[in-house]
Amino acid sequence: MIHIPRLSTFSIVAYDPLAQEWGVATQSKFLAVGAVVPWVQAGAGAVATQSYANVSYGPEGLKLMAKGLSASEALERLVAGDEERARRQVGLVDAQGRAATFTGDGCHEWAGGLTGEHYAVQGNILVSGATVEALARAFEDTPGELADRLVAALAAGQSAGGDRRGQQSAAVLVARHQGGYGGYTDRYLDLRVDDDPAPIDRLKALVELHHLFFKPPAPGEMVAIEGEVARETQRILQWAGYYDGPLTGAYDAPTRQALSNLIGNENFEERFDEPGGRISEQVLDVLRKKFAPA
């Protein structure tokens, strides 16, 4: 007899019409859930496949929705051709944000799902249905970008009971057109916690780090490197060992080169305008704390 692991988990698939983003977030008592459950394609939709997961639902579902099928139509095609559909659970959201969810009658209790405007939530082997209800409410009530709302939904689902076997891994995957690093791919955010006693908390911290490194600066966040800001920048560069010149308060060539080297090593290029002589106040605060003498 072949043993197929039960992928007990809860998840949310969702669409942000303003940002034109599609995403999935998931948590499970299962190692590296992010390698199995979430599938996303910008302009097509998102799929979460779980409970004795048929991983082909991910790419096949995206392919069907990329051809113009709705989430419900793609779901019907997926389960119709699967002899083990009674044990499957899947959620989909399509290019227009239409959502669908399916829970086979062979899934382990508690198991079920809900759909709302631009999202679907689902889970199996849960403490109760309160988990998926909490996922839905938190997604609807949380402001901010899609990744923040997805992870907030996971946290709410866990607080409401979550997977009755416990926690192990969590993941969030978001795509938008040319949203990846440098604009070369659509994979805007792809973060995973593969094995941790509190994976959702760790995932939230990773999303915040992603914002720090890659989110475009907010209006008013960038400050000119001149005067006292330039002197403080030079002081930070001295602390970090990148600059041994005087504290002139000028964004001169040695200061510019030293700061460019530090920014490159710390991976803050998205928050630094080298030719314009401007830097994110948030990044400056991080550098202050990291390199200040003990």
Domain boundary among 149, 180, 214: 214
- Asked whether residue 37 falls in the same domain as residue 168, the answer is yes
- Asked whether residue 208 falls in the same domain as residue 232, the answer is no
122: part of which helix (H) or strand (E)?
strand 119-123
Whether the predicted pLDDT of 194 surpasses 60: yes
- pLDDT tens, residue by residue, 3-53: 455 566 999 999 999 999 999 999 999 999 999 999 999 999 999 999 999
- pLDDT tens, residue by residue, 47-88: 999 999 999 999 999 999 999 999 999 999 999 989 999 999
Kindly indicate the confidence band of residue 181, based on its pLDDT and cuts at 50, 70 and 90.
confident
* pLDDT score, position 147: 98
Each residue of 135-164: b (16+ CB within 10 Å) or e?
bbbbbeeeeebbbbbbbbbbbbbbebbbbb
Question: Which CATH number does the domain housing residue 169 bear?
Answer: 3.60.20.10
- Asked whether residue 192 falls in the same domain as residue 113, the answer is yes
User: What one-letter code names the amino acid at 126?
Assistant: L
* pLDDT score, position 218: 87
Angle formed at CA 218 by CA 217 and CA 222, multiple of 5 degrees: 60
* pLDDT score, position 7: 64
- Asked whether residue 198 falls in the same domain as residue 270, the answer is no
Task: Assess if residue 2 is contained within a domain.
Answer: no
- pLDDT tens, residue by residue, 148-174: 999 999 999 999 999 989 999 999 999
Angstrom distances, CA of residue 129 to CA of 110, 132, 135, 179, 264: 7, 6, 10, 35, 47
Mean pLDDT taken over the chain: 95
Domain membership of residue 69 as a residue range: 9-214
- Using an 8 Å Cβ cutoff, are 24 and 37 in contact? yes
Whether the predicted pLDDT of 138 surpasses 80: yes
Domain boundary among 173, 189, 214: 214
- Asked whether residue 208 falls in the same domain as residue 249, the answer is no
- Asked whether residue 105 falls in the same domain as residue 198, the answer is yes
- Asked whether residue 62 falls in the same domain as residue 103, the answer is yes
Task: Assess if residue 178 is contained within a domain.
Answer: yes
Task: Assess if residue 44 is contained within a domain.
Answer: yes
Question: How far is it, in rounded angstroms, from Cα 74 to Cα 95?
Answer: 12
Kindly indicate the confidence band of residue 294, based on its pLDDT and cuts at 50, 70 and 90.
confident
- pLDDT tens, residue by residue, 251-291: 999 999 999 999 999 999 999 999 999 999 999 999 999 99
Whether the predicted pLDDT of 1 surpasses 50: no
Q: Enter the DSSP assignment of 216.
A: P
pTM score, whole prediction: 0.91
Rounded mean pLDDT of 180-201? Answer: 96
Name the region of 182 (left: φ>0; alpha: ψ -120 to 50; beta: rest). left
* pLDDT score, position 2: 46
- pLDDT tens, residue by residue, 83-121: 999 999 999 999 999 999 999 999 999 999 999 999 999
Question: How far is it, in rounded angstroms, from Cα 223 to Cα 180?
Answer: 26
Task: Assess if residue 26 is contained within a domain.
Answer: yes
- Asked whether residue 209 falls in the same domain as residue 239, the answer is no
Q: Report the number of distinct structural domains present in the chain.
A: 2
- Asked whether residue 226 falls in the same domain as residue 207, the answer is no
- Asked whether residue 169 falls in the same domain as residue 241, the answer is no
Domain boundary among 177, 192, 214: 214
For β-strands 45-50 and 38-41, DSSP reports them as: antiparallel
- Asked whether residue 271 falls in the same domain as residue 171, the answer is no
- Asked whether residue 32 falls in the same domain as residue 121, the answer is yes
Angstrom distances, CA of residue 127 to CA of 10, 25, 37, 130, 192: 11, 19, 20, 8, 24
Q: Extract the tokens encoding 77.
A: 């095609």
User: What one-letter code names the amino acid at 217?
Assistant: P
